[in-house]
Amino acid sequence: MSTTTEHVEHGHADDHDDAHSDHKPDSYYIKVALALGLITAGEVYASYADWLGRAFVPLLLIMMAIKFIMVVSLFMHLKFDNKIFSYLFYTGLILAILVYIAFLACFHFFSGN
Amino acid sequence: MADIAVHEPEAGDPGHHDHGGHDDHDAHAEHVTSTGLSNNKMAMWMFLGSECLLFGGLISTYMLYRGRHSGGLGPDQIYDIPFTSVSSFVLLMSSLTMVLAVSAAARKDEPNTNLWLTITALLGATFVGGQVYEFTSFYREGLGFTKSLFSSSFYTLTGFHGVHVTVGVIMLLALVGINKRGRLTGKKAEVVELVGLYWHFVDIVWIIIFTLVYLIPS
């Protein structure tokens, strides 16, 4: 079995991989990083802007979600990769969010508030 | 054990051609998995999915306990937002250098792959250094690990993240070392991509921590 594996690894696996790679030019990633940096600056500014009032928390959450999706989709290539990887990752993420909701619900219901 | 025979090539074997298109076919046939995808990449995404649960639990715990400091030092008194913002920016830029390393590896550009991996490791180490400085200053101000539920949940969450970044830095430096010695076998681009996926995950966790823990007041 090991012979077969080595044969594959040193054989045409690299070519196979290259044929399916979907990497963007470096300038694309630099633009994405600049956008991420700007959003981060916006987040920090928002944390000092008292005039935002009640819009402050939703605004921060939206900016956080945009940054999260940009990194996952563009830097981690989930947007261009097979959907199975998206399902695996987002299943974990959705479960984590459900855990948080369950936590909050438990503490809310049992604390008597 | 099922009798799965692997056909070893033999000279003069009528069923096997030593050269030509059939070699390509065999290599691809053996490479194909039941899903048609790389098992290593699949395992990494499953691992990252499970890591979401780990950090989900830790973030949930912090969110529930961040107001429990019994009048002692709380989030509003202790956080240094400008300092943490710079740390966040450093980690964010390390994601850029990581994706540039992955891109260089896909082009088989080894010098640039090693360069970007090293820069990523340095940025990660800078972030960890910042976290150590932050923890030290918090401790000196009187926020010990067992001081309150807030401090315990804060140190546990950010400490776990810091450990993940440290593991990432070790992985990056090890990858550079192994690559420079030419001991990286198999698909180099995929190995770099897998380490990159882990690194980006560490970055997205910090994106959430930075907003929920530092920027949104309790």
Nearest-angstrom CA–CA distance, B26 and B31: 8
What pLDDT is recorded for position A22?
A: 64
Name the DSSP letter for residue B14: T
Q: Return the domain boundaries, chain B.
A: 39-215
Nearest-angstrom CA–CA distance, B115 and B184: 16
Residue B60 at interface with chain A, using a CB cutoff of 8 Å: yes
How far apart are the CA of A45 and the nearest CA of chain B, in angstroms? 10
**Chain B residue at shortest CA distance from A62:** B211
Residue with tokens 């090693």: B114
Is B39-215 CATH 1.20.120.80? yes
Q: Tell me the pLDDT tens digit for each residue of B96-154.
A: 999 999 999 988 888 999 999 999 999 999 999 999 999 999 999 888 898 889 999 99
Query: Which positions 68-87 of B are in contact with A (Cβ < 8 Å)?
Result: 81-82, 85
Residue B143: other Cβ atoms inside 10 A = 21
Q: Tell me the pLDDT tens digit for each residue of B5-25.
A: 444 444 444 444 444 444 444
Distance from the Cα of residue B86 to its chain's centroid:
20
Nearest-angstrom CA–CA distance, B149 and B90: 29
DSSP states of B153-218: HHHHHHHHHHHHHHHHHHHHHHHHHHHHTT---S-HHHHHHHHHHHHHHHHHHHHHHIIIIIIS--
How far apart are the CA of A51 and the nearest CA of chain B, in angstroms? 15
Report whether A93 contacts A101 (CB < 8 A).
Answer: no
Report whether B191 contacts B164 (CB < 8 A).
Answer: no
| Closest partner CB to B49 (pick from A24, A40, A91) | A91
Lowest mean pLDDT among A12-21, A59-68, A81-90, B207-216: A12-21
Q: Tell me the pLDDT tens digit for each residue of B97-113.
A: 999 999 999 888 889 99
Is the complex ipTM higher than 0.90? Answer: no
The token pair at A57 is: 């928390």
